[in-house]
Amino acid sequence: MASRTLLALALCATLPLAGCSAFRSYQSELTQTSQHLSSGDVPAALALLEKNNSSADKDLLYYFEKGELLRAQGDLAGSQEAWRSADRTIVEWEDSLKADPGKHLGTVGSLLVNDKVRRYEGYDYEKVMLTTQMALSHLALGDFDGARTEIKKTHEREALIAELRDKEYLKREEEAKEKGITAEFKDLQGYPVETLDAPEVLGLKNSYQSAFSHYLSGFVYEALGERGLAAPGYRKALELRPNTPLLEQALLDLDASARRKADESEVLLVVQSGLAPSRDSVRIPLPIPTPNGLIITPLSFPVIREDNSTPAPASLVVAGRTVDLTELNSTSAMSRRALRDDMPGIILRTSVRAISRSVAQKQLNEVNPLAGLAVGLASAITEGADERTWRTLPDRTRIARLRLKKGEHELNLDGHPLRVKVERDYQVITLRSVGNQLFSAGTATPASPMQTAAR
C-alpha cells in the first residue's frame, strides 16, 4: 500500500501544473460571470461560461450555470434543455446509488488527492433546487403538468438523499474513530465558526429540504385539483418554516379556493433575488497524528462567502396595492448547513491526506531527496479547499399569494414596472433580481423601458 501511495504522489508531482484541474479557480471564473449578470449583460456572461468550459466533456456545474443564465435571458426552452442535461447526470448518480449504495460511501483512505479534483456530483440542496427551478420555468409558461413531473422527482430525490446521508454519516464516524481523528470544525482555530452556527443555519432540518419547494408542490397540486396531495405539501412547508402565517393560511384556505369566482385567479408571485454564496479557501493549522507523533500542519478548509449585491425586496405593488413578501428559502443558509454537515468528512479526508503525504514524503526523502522535495512542493501548491458550487442559483426566494381579477395588471418591484397578464384559474408569476437588474419571463413583461434581460 505504501509503495502505491508513493507512486501516486510522485506521479501527481510530475503533472504539468497548468493542465491540472486542481489549479482551476471556480470562484474567480464565476465571480466574473456573475458580474456580467449583475450588469444585465447576459450574453457576455454566457460567452464567458463557454470560454471557461471549452472541453467537450461538460460537467454538472456547466449545465447548472448555463440553465440559470438562459432563464435570466428569457430563453426558457434553452434553459430547460441545459437543466435536463444536468438532471440526466444526477439521475445516473441516483441509479448507480440504488444499484450499489456502498459505492458512493467510499473510504477516506482512497482519497489521497485534493477534493478539488474529485468528480463534482453537486450538493444535495443543488440537486433539489434544480428540479424546483425547472418546475418554476414550466409554471412561467402555464404548464402545471410539466411542473408536477418535476415536483414528483423532487420528493423522490429528497428521500434518496436522506437514506444515503444516514449511512454516510455512520460510516464516517467509524472511519474517524479508526484513524484516531477527533478534530471538529469548532476546533479549527481562526475558522469563522459563527457562520455555521448561526440561528438560520441551525434552524434548518437539513441542507436540502426547502419550504418553498414544498409550498410550490402544494400550489401545483391544488391547481390540478389534487387537494389530497396539496395538503401534505403545505404541511411540510410549515414544518420546515414554523410560525409562518402565509403557510398556515394556505392550509386553512385549501377548500376556500373552490369558492373563487369564475373571473378570478389564484396568483402566486415568486420573487428570487441575489446570487448563491461562493466558497473560498482558508488555511488553518491542525494537529495531525502521524507515526512520529503529532505534527501541526496548515490545512485548507472551505468557508462560505455571502453575496451582498442584491437586497431582498420586502414587498411589491400589484394593481395599486402593496403586498408583503414572505421568505421561504435561503440558498445561503442551505449552503452553510451543507458545509456544517460536511465538515466532519472534510476534516477526516484532509487529515488522512496530510498523514499519507507526511509518511510518503519521509519515505521518499530516505530514497530520493529530490523526489521527496517534489512531492512536498506539489502538496503545498495544490493545497486548497474545493470552491465549486452553483453560483448563479438565486439566494432568497420570497412569495406572495393573492386573488386577482383575470386580465392585465400593473406590477412594480423596487421601481421596475411590469405588466402581467392573468388568464388562468391558477397562475405563477416569476421574477428574478440581481444587482439593479430585474429579469422576467412568461406572462410578466416590462411596462416601460427599463434595465432588464432581452426576452
* pLDDT at residue number 448: 57
Residue 235 has which C-alpha cell? 404541511
- Which percentage of the chain shows pLDDT scores above 90? 58
Strand runs labelled E in 291-415: 293-305, 315-318, 321-324, 326-330, 396-405, 407-413
**Cα torsion 148, 418, 398, 407: sign:** negative
Each residue of 32-85: pLDDT tens digit? 999 999 999 999 999 999 999 998 889 999 999 999 999 999 999 999 999 999
Residue 388 has which C-alpha cell? 465549486
* pLDDT at residue number 76: 95
CATH number of the domain located at residue range(s) 28-359+387-446 in this protein:
1.25.40.10
Per-residue pLDDT at 14 exceeds 80 = no
Each residue of 88-136: pLDDT tens digit? 999 998 888 887 766 655 544 445 556 777 788 899 999 999 999 999 9
Mean pLDDT rounded to a whole number for the chain: 85
- Which percentage of the chain shows pLDDT scores above 70? 81
Render the burial of 102-130: b for 16+ CB within 10 Å, e for the rest. eeeebebbebbbbbbeeebebbbbbbbbb
Sheet of strand 326-330, all strands in order from the earlier edge strand to the far edge: 326-330, 396-405, 264-273, 426-434, 437-440
* pLDDT at residue number 447: 73
Each residue of 126-180: pLDDT tens digit? 999 999 999 999 999 999 999 999 999 999 999 999 988 888 877 777 777 777 7
Q: Give the pLDDT mean for 352-378.
A: 64
* pLDDT at residue number 419: 94
Which residues on adjacent β-strands are paired with residue 428?
Answer: 268
Question: Of 423 and 256, which is predicted with more confidence?
Answer: 423
Question: Of 261 and 116, which is predicted with more confidence?
Answer: 261
Quick one: which of 388, 274, 283 has its CA closest to 332? 274
Cβ neighbors of 167 (< 8 A, separation 6 or more) are 101, 105
Each residue of 194-237: pLDDT tens digit? 999 999 999 999 999 999 999 999 999 999 999 999 999 999 99
Quick one: which of 433, 431, 410 has its CA closest to 422? 410
Q: Give the pLDDT mean for 334-339.
A: 96
* pLDDT at residue number 110: 41
* pLDDT at residue number 383: 66
Residue 147: count of CB within 10 angstroms of its CB: 28
Per-residue pLDDT at 273 exceeds 90 = yes
* pLDDT at residue number 27: 84
Helix (H) or strand (E) holding 343: helix 331-367
* pLDDT at residue number 451: 39
Burial class of 454 by CB neighbour count within 10 A (0 to 12, 13 to 18, 19+): exposed
* pLDDT at residue number 398: 98
Question: Of 360 and 401, which is predicted with more confidence?
Answer: 401
* pLDDT at residue number 103: 61
Question: Of 79 and 13, which is predicted with more confidence?
Answer: 79
Residue 75 has which C-alpha cell? 430563453
